[in-house]
Amino acid sequence: MIKYLTEKEVAKIIGMSMSYLSHRRSNGKLKGQIPGPPFLRIGRNIRYAENDLKKWMEQFIVNT
């Protein structure tokens, strides 16, 4: 079963603010901007699939 997270839960997990997530949703596709994690909009509610969030976070892993 897929677990869906709220904006508040995702913001806490990634250590960013809810406004960061909002900004990424609206400006993430602009040139030079990092897109935010994939999301679902259900009416006024925004939800993030836990699996999609993990995949999104993996792209930022730095191997030095």
pLDDT tens profile 7-55: 999 999 999 999 999 988 887 666 777 788 999 999 999 999 999 999 9
pLDDT of residue 9: 97
The answer to whether residue 9 is domain-embedded is yes
What pLDDT is recorded for position 63?
87
Q: What is the pTM of this model?
A: 0.84
Give pLDDT, residue 34.
79
The boundaries of the domain holding residue 44 are: 4-58
Cα–Cα distance for residue pair 43/58, rounded to 1 Å: 29
Structure-block tokens of residue 23? 């900004």
What pLDDT does residue 28 have?
64
Residue 63 in any domain: the answer is no
Please check whether residue 7 is in contact with residue 21, taking contact to mean a CB–CB distance below 8 angstroms. yes
Count structural domains, the chain. Answer: 1
Residue 27 lies in a domain: yes
Candidates 9, 28, 30; CA nearest to 18 is 9
What pLDDT score does 40 carry? 95
